[in-house]
Amino acid sequence: MNNHASRFPNRHSRRSFLGGAAALGAGAAGVGIQLGDASAQDSTEISMMGWGSELEKQNVDNGLAAFQEQNPDITVDWIHIPVAEDQQVALKTAIAGGTAPDLFWSTPFRDFVALGAAMDVTEYLQADPVIGAPDYFLQPQEFERATVNDKWFGIGSCWVAPHIYYNADLLAEAGIDPPSSNPAEAWTFEEFKEYGRQLTFDADGRHPGDNGFDVDNVRQWGVSWPTFDIALAGAIYSNGGYTWGTDYTAGHGSPESIEAIQAIADLTNVDQIAPVPAVLSQMGTDWQALATGNVAIIVQGSWSLQDIAKLDFNYGCGVLPVFQEPATVLLAHSHCISSTTEHPDEAWRLLAYLSSDEYQLGLIQAGLWLPSHTSLLTPEGIASWMTEGVHPEGYDQLVTDYVANYGHNLFYPAGYAEANEMIVSALDPVWIGAQTAQEALVDSGVLDELSAHLQEQQALMADI
């Protein structure tokens, strides 16, 4: 025993070890408490829960660093969850657990308004000398996006919108002038289809409509128009229809909407100038197919510009083809303050900062966002974000004219996810030509089911 002890002179008994560990733990806790107290005396900590890619996260990090420098009395705990859908789950769970963040991001934020989890910020906004100015935001889109029963429950982060991207080299090879970024010079949908036909060819160089054209062996597709809600809405609004009404009606069944939906499905099944819509998105992204020359023209969200800009190919952007009138849809997540926050003033100061030009600029310059402030649509404003190597020629007009004058707010009703699932599921057979849009939406009775769901959701909003 003595030998053993002498070989391990520093050996501690279990009791002394546990005692030491406890003392160490208590000491560390004490230090922590002291540090916490010291920082707590100087600043209020508020939390914010959002999502985003690495690029977006970096921009938020930079923005929060600048905000905290300008507001040394506030510390922001930024809870970053990479994927938006996961963030919405985590957010709701946090609210249920009584640990709601002071500020959160949400696109279908009316779900949280209906639950009483989002704070009415109308008074804060009206009292703010900068962002409370009536001409600060692009209107009426911002008001439509951010208010419920004329009360503001959030403020939009930015705008994004679907538009055309094209592979300039492929169009030049086919002798086709690229689509314009001026809505007054937009292609008609018929022109879009004709150019799509000229740009589509099979292994033997035959185009759709030519004798022997082999649709199973296409070398280059002319166009791709994805069918997720945002891209589809661009066609529907251009044909005079709508998707989700502020009165909680679904507009997918109107003749104009049906016609637009059918026209998009026919690009694949009748005109044979587009792959089955889901196929490209299954590959990850359709802009990769654009860059590699598998498709010449795609309709995609403006947010894709930041990724497209990194690829080594000659690209350009244009407005969507016109059915009846030039149109696109605008959307983006809103920043909301939790109704249970203990620091509403500090949370508002952060929300106001997130609504500033300074914060928005970084991601507009990168090509992820479009501006939602009128100050960024002036010549000086445009000069502050147009970035060489990202925004192609004419992109400023696409923003100042197309987005500002022809952009419709894409309304997100409460219960949007379930409502949209009904439409998505009903339209599945349309994209492969197994049903017409009329059969899938109107004759199937799905719109009645949808209407009942929306009415139920609208009732939740009545007392807001």
Partner 1 sequence: MASAEVKAQSVVNAPVVSAQGSRLTLRQKEAIAGYIFILPAVLGFILWTAGPMLYSLWLSFHSWNLIQPPKWIGLGNFREMWNDRVFWASVRATLTYAAILVPLFQILAFSAALLLNTKTPGISFFRAAFYLPVVVPVAAASFLWQFIFNSEFGLLNYLLGKIGIGKIFWFQEPRFAMSAMIVMSLWLFGGTMVIYLAALQGVPEHLHEAAALDGASALRRLFVVTIPMMSPVIFFNCVLGVIGALQIFTQAFIITGGGPQHSTRFFSYFVYIRGFRDFKMGYASALSWVLFAFILLISLLIFRTLGRMVYYEEEGR
Under DSSP, is residue 103 helix (H, G, I), strand (E, B) or coil? Answer: strand
Residues that bind partner 1 (CB under 8 A): 85, 88-89, 92-93, 95-96, 111, 115-117, 216-217, 275-276, 278-280, 282-283, 294, 415, 417-418, 421, 424-425, 428-429, 431-432, 434, 449
Q: How far is the CB of 113 from partner 1 (least distance, A)?
A: 12
In angstroms, rounded to a whole number, what is the distance separating the alpha carbons of residues 106 and 333? 5
Q: How far is the CB of 221 from partner 1 (least distance, A)?
A: 8
Nearest Cα to 251, choosing from 264, 241, 238? 241
Q: Which is nearer to partner 1, 134 or 212 (CB)?
A: 212
Q: Which is nearer to partner 1, 317 or 422 (CB)?
A: 422
Q: Which is nearer to partner 1, 181 or 457 (CB)?
A: 457
First to last CA, the chain: 78
Q: How far is the CB of 283 from partner 1 (least distance, A)?
A: 6
Q: Which is nearer to partner 1, 325 or 342 (CB)?
A: 342
From the centroid of its chain, how far is CA 342? 29
Q: How far is the CB of 112 from partner 1 (least distance, A)?
A: 9
In angstroms, rounded to a whole number, what is the distance separating the alpha carbons of residues 427 and 448? 15
Q: How far is the CB of 387 from partner 1 (least distance, A)?
A: 32
Amino acid letter at 206? R
In angstroms, rounded to a whole number, what is the distance separating the alpha carbons of residues 82 and 53? 6
Local structure of residue 361 (DSSP, 8 states): H
- Number of helices and strands in the chain (H, E): 22, 14
Q: Which is nearer to partner 1, 55 or 278 (CB)?
A: 278
Q: Which is nearer to partner 1, 61 or 448 (CB)?
A: 448
Amino acid letter at 391? H
Q: Which is nearer to partner 1, 315 or 431 (CB)?
A: 431
Under DSSP, is residue 253 helix (H, G, I), strand (E, B) or coil? Answer: coil
Q: How far is the CB of 286 from partner 1 (least distance, A)?
A: 11
If phi > 0 it is left, if psi is from -120 to 50 it is alpha, else beta; for residue 151 that is beta
Give residue for tokens 């949808």: 450
Q: Which is nearer to partner 1, 88 or 257 (CB)?
A: 88
Q: How far is the CB of 49 from partner 1 (least distance, A)?
A: 15
Contact indicator for 450, 245 with CB cutoff of 8 Å? no
Amino acid letter at 437? A
Contact indicator for 415, 115 with CB cutoff of 8 Å? no
Q: How far is the CB of 219 from partner 1 (least distance, A)?
A: 12
